[in-house]
Amino acid sequence: METVWFMIVAVMVAAYVVLDGFDLGAGAIYLGVARTSDDRRRVLATIGPVWDGNEVWLLAAGGTLYFAFPLLYASSFSGFYLPLMIVLWLLMLRGIGIELRAHMENPVWVGFFDLIFCFSSALLAIFFGAALGNVVRGVPLGADGYFFEPLWTNFRVGANTGILDWYTVLTGVIALITLTSHGALYLAVKTENELNQRVRRVALTAWPLQLILTIAGLIATFYVRPTVLDNYKQHAVGYLVPLVVFGSLAAMIYGILKEQYKLAFVASALYIVGMLVGAAFALYPVVLPSSSDPARNLTIYSTAAAHHGLTVGITWWSIGMVLALGYFTFLFRMFRGKVRLEGEGY
């Protein structure tokens, strides 16, 4: 049951990154591609019906983590208290930027909320990437299973690490470029004319950076945590993950060049899932590595809830997921197609 719930949490995290990732990416490039008021309204119209629903997956993933692995939840949320508060404020500011812009007529306030929306979207992508980097690199877990890290120290990977060092900054940049490309491809699917060509140029520019950073990130991960290859050596099926990652990158550039944006967007989603699955596969059964003593690693077995609760929870989780998937299928079908400003809706 511990392994099943590990996979469930991984699936929900991946669902959040794929779904909320495209509207974070759209927000990060918002001021760059939307140069007129109408263009900005079009960009906001592409994510308007779905952005708040997408963020629910973050709450659902956190709730599932709390239910299935309460010790991991307690340890990580106490150790990452400062960045979690930063993320919480960025999420609030992003929502404020989206919602209040529509209620303002003064161009100064409209521009202010546009800046808030763009700035908070970009920073959220970076912080989420840095969070994944911390999990892969490891944290200074104590004998009691808890830890504390300052926001930064000397930016080196070692005994005295901070939340931000050269490795976690690299993973943050990878996340920003990845979600920027993901958001640009979503906008390419949903927009037309000049705005469509601008987001296509963003996707074309981001692709080589994404490829280079993917390779750099893999090399850096091997350097920081050489044991990430252990599970791949023991289970050859794991080598399908890099095939998915680089195959999806190839499909992305093909779709962009051929202007088959739906194909490119699906490939981008597969790339994100492949990267996250690769990290989870490499760490399993560890859920939070110790940077000081491997004996202190938090695993799915040492942090899981009681077996009875996990067994009963499967039933209720399955019912909830059926309802959630039905709702999101209905939502995206209702708002399918290109966005236009004439009249109401799409």
pTM: 0.93
In this predicted structure, which of 99-108, 195-204, 299-308 has the lowest mean pLDDT? 99-108
pLDDT at 77: 83
59 within a domain of the structure (yes/no): yes
| Total domains in the fold of the chain | 1
How far is Cα 53 from Cα 27, in angstroms, rounded to an integer?
16
pLDDT in tens, 122-165: 999 999 999 999 999 989 888 888 888 888 888 888 777 888 99
pLDDT tens, position by position, 252-269: 999 999 999 999 999 999
Contact yes or no for 302/71 (Cβ under 8 A): yes
DSSP per-residue letters across 46-91 = HHTTTHHHHHHHHHHHHHHHHHH-HHHHHHHHHHTHHHHHHHHHHH
- Going by C-alpha positions, the residue among 179, 142, 177, 148 that lies closest to residue 47 is 179
Q: Which residue has the tokens 């973050």?
A: 58
Structure-block tokens of residue 324 = 């959630």
**Is residue 345's pLDDT more than 50?**
no
Sequence-ordered list of residues with C-beta below 8 angstroms from that of 100, at least 6 positions apart, any chain: 109, 113
Strand pairing partners for 298? 288
Please report the pLDDT score of residue 344 as a whole number. 44
Torsion of CA 264, 128, 293, 299, to 10 degrees: -70
Using CA atoms, how far apart are residues 341 and 81, in angstroms rounded to an integer? 42
Place of tokens 């991946």: 14
Q: Residue 78: which of 153, 10, 27, 139 has the closest Cα? A: 139
**What tokens appear for 189 in the block?**
């699917």
What whole-number percentage of the chain has pLDDT above 90?
Answer: 66
Q: Which residue has the tokens 């200074």?
A: 140
For residue 340, what is the DSSP state?
-
Contact 233, 150 (CB under 8 A): no
pLDDT in tens, 83-95: 889 999 999 999 9
Is 153 within a domain?
yes
Quote the pLDDT of residue 294. Answer: 85
Span 92-120, average pLDDT: 91
Q: In sequence order, what DSSP letters do the residues of 243-310 get, joined into one string?
A: HHHHHHHHHHHHHHHTT-HHHHHHHHHHHHHHHHHHHHHHHTTEEE-BSS-GGG-EEHHHH---HHHH
- 94's tokens: 């992003």
Q: Is the pLDDT of residue 224 over 80?
A: yes
Q: Are 310 and 5 in contact (CB under 8 A)?
A: yes
Q: Does some domain include residue 345?
A: no
Please report whether residue 67 resides in a domain: yes
pLDDT range class, residue 343, cuts 50, 70, 90: low
pLDDT surpasses 80 at 346: no
pLDDT over 90 at 43, yes or no: yes
Phi then psi for residue 142, to 5 deg, are -85, 180
Is residue 340 situated within a structural domain? no
Q: Report yes or no on 315 lying in a domain.
A: yes
Determine the structural domain holding residue 66 and report its residue range.
Answer: 2-334
